[in-house]
Every structure is written in C-alpha cells, then in structure tokens.
Amino acid sequence: MVQKEHQDNSRRRRWLLEYPIAVPVVIFLLVAAITMLSVFAIEEGERRRETADLNRHSQAMASAIERRAFTSSSYLRAGAALFTTQEKIDADLFRRFVSELRLDSDYRGAEGIGWAPVISANDLPAFETRLQSEWIDDAKVRPSLSEAPRSQLTPILFLQPDTLRNRRALGYDMYSDPVRRAAMDEALRSMRPSASGRIVLVQEGSEKQGDAGFLIYMPVFDGAGGQRRLKGFIYSPFNAPQFIEAAAALVNSEGMAAELYDLNDGKRTLLAGINPVGEQGEMVEREVNLANRPMMLVVRSGQAQTLSSMSMVTLLFGIAVASLLMLVARLLTQQALEDRRSINWFAEQNSIRDSLTRELNHRVKNTLANVLSILSLTRRRAVSLDEFAEGLDGRIRSLSGTHDLLTQSEWGTTPIRSVIEAELASYADDADHTVSMSGPEVELAPNDALSLGLALHELTANAAKFGSLSRPGGTVTISWERTSEALARVDWVESGGPTVGAPSKRGFGTDLIEKIVAHELRHPVEISFDPEGVRCSLLLPIRERSEFELRKANPAAHAH
C-alpha cells in the first residue's frame, strides 16, 4: 500500500519534471473551462428567468390595459342604457350621472366622460344656441359648415369633469375627423364600445405639441327595434401616455419598458411608451383588445446584454482559482527541480516563492485600491437621485404635515385656517414677507383638506421660487368665504413680487392642481398669471359628516 502511494507520487513528480510548462497550462485551461461552463449555466438560467419575468410582466400589463378599457367601456354602457330611456339629456342629468360613477384612480389617463348628439345641418343653429346658453357665450361648432360642408354632425355638448381644459373641446364636431368618424361608425355597426386610432385630443390645444390620445365611443339610441333612432354618442377621451402609465402602475414595471401600438390595416402606429430603453434587451409582444380595437403591447427588458453579478463573481473567482492552481503547479515544478539539484537550490526556491507571495499580496492590494476608487468616483457623480429627491421631499413633507392635522382631529373635520397655517408656517412670521389670512370658521372633510394642502404647497413653492415670496416685501393674501351651504371659496393672491408672465409650458405643479386637485374637489380650479402676481381660486365642498364617515366605514364601496 505504501509502495503504491510512493509510486503514484513519483509518477506525478515525473510529469512535473517532464512537462514543467504544459502541466500548469493544462490545469489553468481545465479550471477555466469549468468556470466558463458554470458561467454559461448561470447565464442560461438568468436568461430563462428574465424571459419568464418578461412574459409574466407583459401578461400582467396587457391584462391591466384590457381591464382598464373594460372598466371605461362599462361606464359608457351604463350611460348608454340610462340615456336611451331619457327623452332629453340635459346638463344636470349628465353631471349627476358622471358624479354617481365616482371615478377613482383606476380611471387615471381619461379626461372624463362626454356626450355628443347626432344632429343635421338644419339643427346647427339650435344646437349652437343651446351650447351658448349652457356653457360659453360665443361658442360655435367647429369646423364650420363653410369650412367643411357636411350633412351630419356630432359636436360635443357635455364633457365632465367641468374643467377649463375640457371646455376647450365643447362644440368640436368629432364626425368631421376621419379617425374619429371611423371609430363612431364601428361602434354603431358593432353596437358596443369601440376605440379610435391615434389622435391628438382637442383639449391639448395643439396638434403638433399635444400628446397622443384615443377615444372610446358608445352609441345611444332613441326607441327600440326597427323604429329606433341614433341620438348620439357617449364617449371617453384618453391621454395615451397617462393611460399606459396608469396601467403600468398596477404591475411592477421597474427596469422594463413598454410601448402601445395601434394596429390598423397591418400598420403599427405608436400611441405611447414608458421607460424607453432603445432596441437593447429582450422583447415580448402581446396583442391586446382595447375596446373592440386590436392593439399591440411591446414590452422590453431594460437590462443590457451583460453578464449578471453572479456570473461576474463566478468568472472572477474561477480565473483567480485557475491562476492560483497554475501558480501552485509551477511552484511545485520548481520545487521538484530544486530538490533534484541540491539543498542550496531548495533555499533559493523558498526565496523565490516568498517573493511571489509578496508580489501576489501587492497585486491584491492594488486591485482593492482600484475597486475603492471606482466606487468613490461613481458616488461623486451620482447627482440625479438627489435632484429627484429634492422635489419629492417637499411634497411628502406637505402631505405629512396635513396628515398630522388629520391625526390630531382623529380624521374628523379640519379648519381651513389650520391647513393654510401649516403650509405657510415658515413665512407667516418672516419679517421680509407678509402673509395675510382672513375668513370665517369653515371645516373640511379629510380628503378635501389633503387636496387643499397639496394645492397650497404647490402655490407656496412656486411663490418662493418665482413669485412674491422670492423677494423681500412680497405679500400673499389668502381669503376664504362660504358661497353656499355646500361650498366654500378660497382665493390666493400674490403681490409685491417680480412681474409675472404666462409660463411657456405647463409645469408639474399646474397640472397637479388643475387635474388631480380639481378632480378630487369635483370643481374646477382657476389659475391666472397676472403681471402683479399669481391668482388662484378653489371651490371646496363642505360635506356633512355622514358623507365621509360612510365612505370611511365602507371604503370598498367608495373605491368603485
């Protein structure tokens, strides 16, 4: 047994002596090959996992898009069923219908719900008279008959919620546009909600600068059977980027990009996209049915085609082990040669081995120093997260301050004065500025107090950057009054600051106030950029305690 073991050792030493270079290289190549196979197996597993995640994400997002379209279609079906039974559809009826729907955050992306009756050219004067009496004094149907002669018109009469943005669409004849007309004809043919192709909403104001959008139409008839007559269309306009962002918010879309295309006669037309990543990464396509219209959802992985962290660790570790084994084999070869020569060469071999060990230690330290330098440089240049966090921090603090007020009141009613004082606390006692607050004691429901606090935060932040709070001597006057038993009006007036000009483009704060805050308060918000200073007027509902206590006790009913 001992003799056999001695023979094996002798054979191995003979290989080292006969092949002093080949043996270390073979060992290195063998370990490197095992490492590469391991990296390949890890990458294959990562690719399959990424493909599975991408398929799961695309399926979830496609379902979210179809679900949101189905929800919108359900609202339109309900409206069609209601309006079919009504002899006349007036503004009060339409407003009550939309209000009862209680559109929640799952309806984000939609500009609202509208009504467009079908009229003939002879009915145009009477329609314009009605439009002017109910909405705008000088409203006209556009395009006019002289600009585009036609016998049938489908102009917009109602569009809720009633905002300044939505009022720009009133009087527009949707049947004059071929894309909208095709969608209305398809809805009339199929008798179910039908989506249009890519358009720019009239609310955007500019065909070139506005975001892409689409509409969903549902026909409304008068009568039944062969005697029925088309009364008009109930419809919903959608901002495409906001629509797909709302759908993506329902699933975990971090690190992935999505694009929604309209399919028409085999051609793809881009509606909107989120998190663009170019052509890199894996891609999955899914056809979705958005209100009786085929569309294509394209989901891409945002990860670049590089090795995963596990593969990088395995590769580096494998190369290190292969190098170390090759070094050990080389050292063993040298040791065998030295043993064969003399004991003096053995001592010299020890010296060489010590030198190699010190060199290896030195190289390891250099490697660690390089890694630390790279980490430090990356940290110094990563400034975009701080810029993003600065704006987010203010809004979170604003909501936190209002939440503190609501907590103190045990989520009961909160005075308007308390909300205003909380938002302007840092300027109320400032000697360089004047903050004037006046108004009666008015209590707000919790959700309305949060909306008011959010609006005041945006106005205060704007005034501190560009308005009357940005220079000494500036004044902010906030007054409020009860205009009726169910409404209170809050007026924000700036003066003494720099001259104000109309903004060249809409900012996030303006959109937040005019869309989200106005939607939550169910009343339009008026913002004007006068040269003397910004003015803003908000209408706040004064709710009975039973209203919000009921929703608090049954949140599921309020959500739907």
* DSSP secondary structure of 131-151: HHHHT-TT---BS-TTTS--S
Structure tokens, 498: 């720099």
Q: Say what the pLDDT of residue 207 is.
A: 55
**Mean pLDDT, all residues of the chain:** 77
Dig out the tokens for 9 from the structure: 């050792």
Among 549, 432, 557, smallest CA distance to 496 is for 432
Which one is predicted more confidently, 194 or 485? 194
Residue 451's closest CA among 550, 320, 344, 540? Answer: 540
**pLDDT over 60 (residue 348):** yes
Q: What's the confidence (pLDDT) of residue 375?
A: 41
- The pLDDT of residue 249: 79
CA 27 from chain centre, in angstroms, equals 54
Greater model confidence, 181 or 525: 181
The per-residue pLDDT for 52 is 81
Q: What six digits make up the tokens of 79?
A: 């409206």
CA distance linking residue 157 with residue 170, whole number of Å: 6
Residues of the chain with pLDDT > 90, as a percent, come to: 17
Give the pLDDT score at 209.
60
Reported in sequence order, the residue ranges of 329-474 that DSSP labels E, i.e. its strands, are 414-415, 434-438, 443-444
Q: What are the tokens at 192?
A: 């179910």
Residue 138 has pLDDT above 80, yes or no: no
Give the pLDDT band (50/70/90) at residue 344.
low
Q: What is the pLDDT of residue 546?
A: 67
Sign of CA dihedral 186, 192, 193, 195: negative
Least confident of 183-197, 275-289, 448-462: 275-289
Reported confidence tier of residue 234, pLDDT bands at 50, 70, 90: very high
Segment among 236-245, 409-418, 478-487 with least mean pLDDT: 409-418
Q: Looking at the DSSP assignment, which residues form a beta bridge with residue 475?
A: 434, 495
pLDDT for position 484: 86
| pLDDT greater at residue 216 or residue 51 | 216
Q: Could you tell me the pLDDT band of residue 194, with boundaries at 50, 70 and 90?
A: very high
Mean pLDDT in residue range 313-334? 78
Q: Which comes out higher in pLDDT, residue 203 or 386?
A: 203
- What pLDDT is stored for residue 409 in this prediction? 60
pLDDT at 389: 44
Question: Once rounded to an integer, what is the mean pLDDT over residues 246-260?
Answer: 78
| pLDDT over 50 (residue 387) | no
Q: Average the pLDDT over 34-45 and give the result.
A: 79
Give the confidence band of 450 by pLDDT, cuts at 50, 70, 90.
confident
Mean pLDDT, residues 373-382: 37
What pTM was computed for the model? 0.50
pLDDT band of residue 254 (cuts 50, 70, 90) is low
- pLDDT value at position 438? 92
Going by C-alpha positions, the residue among 233, 162, 223, 172 that lies closest to residue 200 is 172
Do 432 and 473 form a contact (C-beta atoms < 8 A)? yes
Residue 216 is predicted with a pLDDT of: 95
Candidates 475, 478, 510; CA nearest to 492 is: 478
**What is the band of 466 on the pLDDT scale with cuts at 50, 70, 90?**
confident
Residue 289: pLDDT above 70? yes
Read off the pLDDT of each residue in 439-446 and give the average, rounded to a whole number.
87
**pLDDT band for position 557 (cuts 50, 70, 90):** very low
98-102, 109-113, 500-504: least confident range: 500-504
- The single residue listed with the structure tokens 């996209």 is 273
* Mean pLDDT, residues 212-225: 87
Of 112, 164, 113, 111, the residue nearest 135 (C-alpha): 164
Contact indicator for 519, 453 with CB cutoff of 8 Å: no
Q: Please, is 388 exposed, middle or buried when counting C-beta atoms within 10 Å of its C-beta (0-12, 13-18, 19+)?
A: exposed
- Residues 405 and 291: their CA atoms lie apart, in Å, by 44
pLDDT greater than 90 at residue 404: no
Mean local confidence (pLDDT), 472-485: 89
Lowest mean pLDDT among 116-125, 145-154, 294-303: 294-303
pLDDT in tens, 184-193: 999 999 999 9
